[in-house]
Amino acid sequence: MKLVKYILRKIIPFFLISLFFVALILNLVDLFMNITKYMEMKAALASVLKVMVLYIPKTIWYAAPIAFLFSITYILSDLYSSNEMEALFASGISLLRFVFPVFIFAIIGSIGMFFWEDKLVVDTLKQKKILQNELLGTTQSNNNSNVVVQSNNGSLIYKVQKYYDSEKLIENCTFIFRDDDKNLLAIITADSGIWDDEENRWILAGANQYSYQNKEIKLDGLETKYLEQLTDSYEIFKRANLDVESEKLKDAKIYINHLKKAGLPYYEPQSVYFKKFAFPFIFLIAALLAVGVTGRTRKNVLLISLFLSIGSVVLFYVFQMCTMVLAKTQFLTPMMGAWLPDIVFLIISIFLLKYQRN
């Protein structure tokens, strides 16, 4: 228990300090990239500060793995330099036993990063982008007009004259239902439709159904079997393509399911969706890499260890970028594109730990 307290009391405070400064640097970089435009648009100081505050959760999410890597590398390098690690090894305490609490903390941190993003980062980042675009004069509307969308591999076609994103409302709608052979079954027209989050479908107003019978189209009563098929999310009508990385898991999944049903390309958004699950484990991988490469030399321990640790994480990010591109171009499956970097660097980390000084 004393060893647990000892290593965590050394690493956690240093990690929190590092996290603060790395997150601050990222926030300042975003500020300085846009400060000229802020001045040109005469943006209010309070609004600019609000943008920075809204960006804090995302900067923490970005900064956490780097700060944790730096903290472990610095503390272990210091212990190696002062020969405290040699004393631990001589007393029969292995490296893995000594740093085991750090790995437990890293696992908790990885899980925390996952929920931190989905529950907080997505919302604050979306608010930050909206406010920043307003200040920079680049506001874009997701409202749309004259939209035609296929679903269920062409068995259902939506035709909408107007879509209003803030109300999740569609106007002057036509829904065409076909069988698997693309033969017409029915047509429903409606004055408007509004998305119901509880039922996950469109609720129509002023609707009429026309059925195709005996080679004639006749006015008919609304049938539930058709209304229940109107479950494609409001996201499909937006003017801009949905940025899966900036959406919660639930909304991202709905969007990807729509792309699949409509027969549209979905590899890229699905790989980004799986990345939401895979990327938080960089927190654990950073810890494994830091322990695995630190203290491999007896001279300039801190400098060389930092170089190796940061270099390893940079390679991880580069490799992840490559696998995501391969997933986008369908050379890899979306799941493999997201998870392969974690798997490869986990194996590398275990190999480094196996041959680390003990």
Contact (Cβ atoms closer than 8 angstroms) between residue 85 and residue 79: yes
- Residue 239: pLDDT over 70: no
Give the model's confidence band at 263: pLDDT under 50 very low, under 70 low, under 90 confident, else very high.
low
Side-chain-side CA neighbours of residue 21 (13 Å): 10
SS3 assignment, position 70: helix
**Residue 64 and residue 26: Cα distance in Å, rounded?**
12
How many Cβ atoms from other residues are within 10 Å of residue 25's Cβ? 12
Give the model's confidence band at 121: pLDDT under 50 very low, under 70 low, under 90 confident, else very high.
very high
Q: Which helix (H) or strand (E) holds 272?
A: helix 267-278
- Residue 250: pLDDT over 80: yes
Give the model's confidence band at 82: pLDDT under 50 very low, under 70 low, under 90 confident, else very high.
confident
**pLDDT for res 86:** 83
Can you read off the two tokens belonging to residue 103? 């790995």
- Average pLDDT score, the chain: 88
How many Cβ atoms from other residues are within 10 Å of residue 73's Cβ? 25
Residue 248 burial class via C-beta count within 10 angstroms: exposed 0-12, middle 13-18, buried 19 and up? middle
> Using CA of residue 319, residue 325, residue 329, residue 333, what is the dihedral sign?
positive
**Residue 214 and residue 145: Cα distance in Å, rounded?**
34
- Residue 278: pLDDT over 80: yes
DSSP structural state of residue 119: I
Q: Percentage of the chain surpassing pLDDT 90?
A: 47
Residue 159 CB contacts under 8 Å (≥ 6 apart), including other chains: 147, 148, 173, 174, 175, 176
**Residue 147 and residue 158: Cα distance in Å, rounded?**
8
The better pLDDT of the pair 83, 348 is held by: 348
Give the model's confidence band at 33: pLDDT under 50 very low, under 70 low, under 90 confident, else very high.
very high
**pLDDT for res 139:** 64
- Residue 214: pLDDT over 80: no
Can you read off the two tokens belonging to residue 272? 């980004």
How many Cβ atoms from other residues are within 10 Å of residue 203's Cβ? 14
The model's pLDDT over 170-190, given as tens digits with 9 standing for 90+, comes to 999 999 999 888 888 899 999
- Residue 90: pLDDT over 80: yes
Average pLDDT over residues 319-344: 93
Pick the closest to residue 121 from 54, 63, 68 (CA basis). Answer: 54
Q: In the chain, at which residue ranges do the beta strands (DSSP E only) sit?
A: 144-151, 156-164, 169-178, 184-196, 201-205, 208-213, 216-220
**pLDDT for res 284:** 94
The model's pLDDT over 304-328, given as tens digits with 9 standing for 90+, comes to 888 888 889 899 999 999 999 999 8
Give the model's confidence band at 262: pLDDT under 50 very low, under 70 low, under 90 confident, else very high.
low
**pLDDT for res 81:** 84
Q: Which of 166-170, 263-267, 303-307 is predicted least confidently? A: 263-267
Give the predicted TM-score (pTM) of the model. Answer: 0.76
Give the model's confidence band at 241: pLDDT under 50 very low, under 70 low, under 90 confident, else very high.
low
**pLDDT for res 136:** 87
Give the model's confidence band at 92: pLDDT under 50 very low, under 70 low, under 90 confident, else very high.
confident
**Residue 239 and residue 117: Cα distance in Å, rounded?**
25
**Residue 209 and residue 311: Cα distance in Å, rounded?**
63
- Residue 167: pLDDT over 90: no
- Residue 149: pLDDT over 90: no
Residue 189 burial class via C-beta count within 10 angstroms: exposed 0-12, middle 13-18, buried 19 and up? middle
